[in-house]
């Protein structure tokens, strides 16, 4: 059967009594990926080799976004963050195809319509216009299904960040308009959240005209070609507007026309006139949140007094304001304030009058005392990172409301406040790079008996014995504590789930026997004292992410132990120059022949970049769950044939390696993208026939003939039905 659209696929399943696999109205959270590549996958749902039509709640509806974050991280050779271990930018997307998800979620309370769960459908348009052609019927069907019998509006989130607006803007607007009209005819309540950040569009008038009464949020950050906001006036449902770094916009006065609906406004950039008299006078009284960060020419915020009845969240970091007195007009409504990196603010006393404040961010400010904060009975979150004039927290000693405290890089010498009620109330604490902490005052950390997360990177202490008292600790970061040699105290932290010990002298694998709940992250990068292996795997059975970058403990002989970690999904051994072959990951340890787990049964991401001695990956195709691999800067690796036939492999990064050919990779049934720039490959033709290949990157490959590349690209596009981009230019 020839399916020309996703709607026909879904209708086929419904007509043939397969509707038990379809999203149920108002049911549990569901997710459905719907891209041009996956239209074919959906038709395979009931055929050999098919993929599930509906992803269950346990499968996490955020998989698509995580894949794109992972891809970006690999392509840019991002290593772990400075504190060790795997956090990457959350607001970055690499849009390969149109993704569509149906789910239920709860949004932060702001307006009445957000105080209940809502249905959401997420779409990411890209340069493939075929995706947009089947957008309307498929989304309409899902919207009708999700909204049947439900008063909840259907929210469509369309993210087109960093896309080429010249190609997709017009057809996308037409699809949105038709979709909205269809939903109105069916009496289905709906809203749109549209992000056009960093695109080359010159006007947003088309969006306004398409859905003037159903646009809920609009993001045009970094759209430098947009010069006029006057077209916003017809919008009647817009609640959130983001116009940061729009250097072409000369006047923000048109935003006043949205005073009847706008509740959240973000203007970040080097502008100064949007608080002048009359510019935002009509809209400010209606806002609940405003973000004016990064405006280095902004010197006064007197106009904020107009928001005295509603304004709850104000962000002023990285500005030139002199006074916080205007915030006192918000004392009955203000719950969150950012005044970070405002060097000209000297007095913070006005904040003490804002009695409802729950979150205060004063990082990298000139604050030299915290006495004014003691009067804030509702204060829960306090950030003081980088406040170089602050030496004591004593005024907060008797505070019981603060649950999160960040004093990173503060020269605090008096920590006696931790002995009082404040210490017992803390749940999250960051004391990284506090030069004033020594073994004596670090002993006070034992008073924080209810801590759940503790970050104490780059401290000069030698003894971590006080940590034994923190029995409720779930996450601990000891990165860079090089003077500590004895980590025995951690045996008492039975409930640890994440442990980061990058750049330390940790040397005892036996510690993990006492940490049965260690399941999220274990970071042991550059632990030079750690012996090879763990032997046996005791204590590591539940670890999902293991980072061993630059560790001498990773050798060919120790790899079988890592392969026997049954829950391991992410393994990073970047810079482990003792490794010559990854075949050991699939081997069975000699001392565990009769009682072993199937090797690498859960491994999805494998990072082995900068392993300069790595030569062999012959057995990696046997990893049943492997999705992404990275072999960047592997100077001894000349073949990727060991990946041929890998059942679920989606992405390969082998840039700046000595790979000479791509033989066998077309046999990977789910391969979507490959990066082999700056390698020794001579031809891309071995990729012919790859059924799901979308993108190939082969920049600066000296042995690729420029004359034959155009012909090879045409041949690839003829045999790879989903191929969109082949990049070969330097």
Nearest partner of 79 among 609, 612, 651, judged by Cα: 609
Element (H, E) at 707: helix 706-719
- Place 158 in a pLDDT band, splitting at 50, 70 and 90: confident
Helix segments in 384-442, DSSP class H: 421-425, 439-442
Integer Cα distance of 276 and 280 in angstroms? 8
pLDDT reported for residue 41: 35
Integer Cα distance of 729 and 711 in angstroms? 15
Q: Which residues of 140-177 are buried (b: 16+ CB within 10 A; e: fewer)?
A: bbbbebbbeebebbbbbbbbbbbbebeebbeebbebbb
pLDDT reported for residue 272: 61
Residue-wise pLDDT for 322-337, tens only, equals: 999 999 999 999 999 9
The share of the chain scoring above pLDDT 90, in percent, equals 51
Residue 290 near residue 262 (C-beta atoms within 8 A): no
Burial category of 4 from C-beta neighbours within 10 Å (exposed 0-12, middle 13-18, buried 19 and up): exposed
pLDDT reported for residue 467: 97
Residue-wise pLDDT for 330-359, tens only, equals: 999 999 999 999 999 999 999 999 999 999
- Place 403 in a pLDDT band, splitting at 50, 70 and 90: very high
Residue-wise pLDDT for 246-284, tens only, equals: 888 888 888 999 999 999 999 887 666 666 656 788 899
Report the interhelical angle of 165-185 vs 135-147 (nearest 10°). 40
Burial category of 8 from C-beta neighbours within 10 Å (exposed 0-12, middle 13-18, buried 19 and up): middle
pLDDT reported for residue 535: 60
Q: Of the ranges 245-259, 405-419, 478-492, which one carries the lowest mean pLDDT score?
A: 245-259
Which residues, listed in sequence order, are joined to residue 429 by a DSSP beta bridge?
A: 405, 454
Q: Which residues of 203-223 are buried (b: 16+ CB within 10 A; e: fewer)?
A: ebebbbebbbebbbbbbbbbb
Residue-wise pLDDT for 193-250, tens only, equals: 888 888 888 889 999 999 999 999 999 999 989 988 999 999 999 999 999 888 888 8
Q: Of the ranges 606-615, 621-630, 651-660, 711-720, which one carries the lowest mean pLDDT score?
A: 711-720
Tell me what the mean pLDDT of segment 22-51 comes to. Answer: 31
Tell me what the mean pLDDT of segment 34-56 comes to. Answer: 32
> Residue 93: CB partners within 8 Å, gap ≥ 6?
65, 68, 69, 124, 159, 161, 162
The count of residues in the chain is: 730
* Beta strand segments in 335-479, E: 336-338, 359-361, 381-383, 404-406, 428-430, 453-455, 475-477
Tell me what the mean pLDDT of segment 66-89 comes to. Answer: 41
Q: Give Rg (Cα) of the chain.
A: 28
Q: Is residue 428 predicted with pLDDT exceeding 90?
A: yes
Q: Which residue has the higher pLDDT, 541 or 152?
A: 541
pLDDT reported for residue 143: 55
Residue-wise pLDDT for 417-427, tens only, equals: 999 999 999 99
pLDDT reported for residue 161: 78
Element (H, E) at 121: strand 118-123
Nearest-5° angle of CA 338, CA 304, CA 294?
45
- Place 469 in a pLDDT band, splitting at 50, 70 and 90: very high
Residue 477 near residue 502 (C-beta atoms within 8 A): no
Tell me what the mean pLDDT of segment 611-636 comes to. Answer: 94
- Place 141 in a pLDDT band, splitting at 50, 70 and 90: low
Nearest partner of 607 among 70, 90, 87, judged by Cα: 70
pLDDT reported for residue 271: 66
Q: How far is CA 352 from CA 311, 327, 338, 421, 560, in A?
A: 17, 10, 14, 20, 59
Q: Is residue 550 predicted with pLDDT exceeding 50?
A: yes
């Amino acid at each position: 059967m020839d399916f020309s659209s996703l709607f026909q696929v879904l209708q086929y399943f419904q007509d043939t009594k397969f509707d038990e696999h379809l999203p149920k109205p108002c049911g549990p959270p569901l997710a459905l990926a719907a891209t041009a590549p996956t239209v074919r996958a959906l038709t395979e749902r009931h055929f050999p080799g098919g993929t599930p039509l509906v992803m269950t709640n346990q499968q996490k509806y955020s998989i698509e976004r995580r894949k794109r974050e992972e891809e970006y991280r690999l392509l840019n050779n991002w290593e772990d963050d400075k504190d060790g271990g795997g956090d990457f930018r959350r607001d970055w997307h690499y849009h390969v195809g149109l993704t569509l998800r149906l789910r239920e979620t709860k949004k932060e309370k702001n307006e009445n319509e957000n105080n209940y769960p809502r249905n959401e459908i997420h779409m990411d348009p890209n340069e493939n216009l075929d995706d947009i052609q089947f957008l309307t019927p498929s989304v309409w069907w899902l919207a009708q299904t999700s909204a049947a019998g439900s008063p909840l509006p259907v929210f469509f989130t369309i993210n087109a960040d960093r896309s080429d607006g010249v190609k997709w803007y017009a057809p996308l607007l037409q699809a949105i308009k038709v979709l909205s009209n269809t939903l109105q005819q069916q009496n289905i309540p709906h809203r749109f959240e549209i992000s056009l950040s960093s695109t080359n569009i010159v006007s947003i008038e088309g969006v306004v005209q398409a859905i003037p009464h159903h646009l809920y949020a609009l993001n045009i950050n970094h759209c430098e070609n947009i010069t006029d906001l006057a077209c916003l006036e017809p919008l009647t449902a817009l609640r959130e507007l983001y116009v940061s770094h729009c250097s072409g916009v000369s006047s923000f006065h048109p935003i006043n026309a949205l005073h009847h609906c706008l509740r959240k406004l973000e203007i970040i950039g080097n502008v100064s006139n949007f608080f002048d008299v009359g510019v935002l006078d009509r809209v400010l009284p209606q806002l609940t949140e405003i973000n004016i960060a990064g405006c280095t020419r902004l010197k006064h915020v007197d106009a904020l007094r107009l928001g005295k009845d509603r304004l709850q969240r104000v962000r002023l970091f990285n500005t030139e304001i002199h006074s916080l007195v205007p915030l006192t007009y918000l004392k009955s409504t203000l719950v969150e304030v950012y005044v970070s990196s405002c060097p000209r603010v000297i007095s913070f006393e006005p904040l003490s009058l804002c009695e409802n404040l729950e979150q205060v961010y004063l990082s990298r400010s000139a604050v030299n005392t915290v006495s004014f904060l003691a009067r804030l009975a509702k204060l829960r979150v306090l950030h003081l990172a980088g406040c170089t004039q602050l030496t004591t927290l004593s005024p907060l000693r008797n505070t019981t409301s603060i649950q999160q405290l960040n004093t990173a890089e503060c020269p605090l010498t008096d920590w006696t406040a931790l002995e009082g009620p404040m210490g017992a109330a803390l749940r999250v604490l960051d004391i990284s790079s506090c030069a004033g902490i020594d073994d004596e005052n670090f002993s006070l950390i034992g008073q924080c008996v209810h801590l759940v997360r503790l970050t104490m990177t780059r401290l000069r202490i030698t003894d971590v014995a006080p940590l034994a008292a923190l029995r409720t600790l779930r996450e601990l970061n000891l990165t860079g504590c090089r003077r500590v040699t004895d980590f025995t105290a951690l045996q008492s932290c039975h409930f640890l789930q994440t442990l980061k010990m990058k750049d330390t002298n940790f040397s005892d694998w036996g510690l993990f026997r006492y940490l049965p709940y260690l399941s999220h992250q274990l970071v042991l990068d550059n632990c030079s004292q750690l012996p090879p292996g763990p032997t046996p795997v005791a204590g590591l059975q539940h670890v999902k992410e293991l980072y061993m970058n630059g560790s001498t403990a990773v050798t060919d002989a120790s790899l079988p132990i890592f392969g026997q970690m049954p829950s391991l999904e992410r393994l990073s051994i970047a810079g482990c120059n003792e490794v010559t072959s990854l075949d050991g990951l699939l081997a069975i340890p000699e001392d565990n022949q009769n009682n072993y787990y199937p090797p690498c049964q859960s491994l999805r991401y494998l990072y082995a970049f900068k392993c300069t001695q790595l030569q062999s990956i012959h057995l990696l195709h046997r990893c049943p769950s492997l999705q992404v691999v990275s072999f960047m800067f592997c100077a001894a690796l000349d073949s990727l044939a060991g990946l041929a036939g890998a059942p679920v492999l989606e992405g390969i990064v082998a840039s700046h390696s000595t790979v000479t050919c791509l033989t066998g990779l077309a046999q990977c049934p789910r391969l979507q993208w490959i990066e082999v720039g700056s390698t020794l490959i001579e031809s891309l033709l071995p990729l012919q026939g790859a059924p799901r290949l979308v993108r190939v990157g082969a920049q600066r490959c000296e042995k690729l003939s420029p004359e034959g590349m155009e012909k090879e690209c045409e041949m690839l596009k003829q045999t790879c039905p989903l191929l969109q981009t082949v990049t070969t230019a330097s």
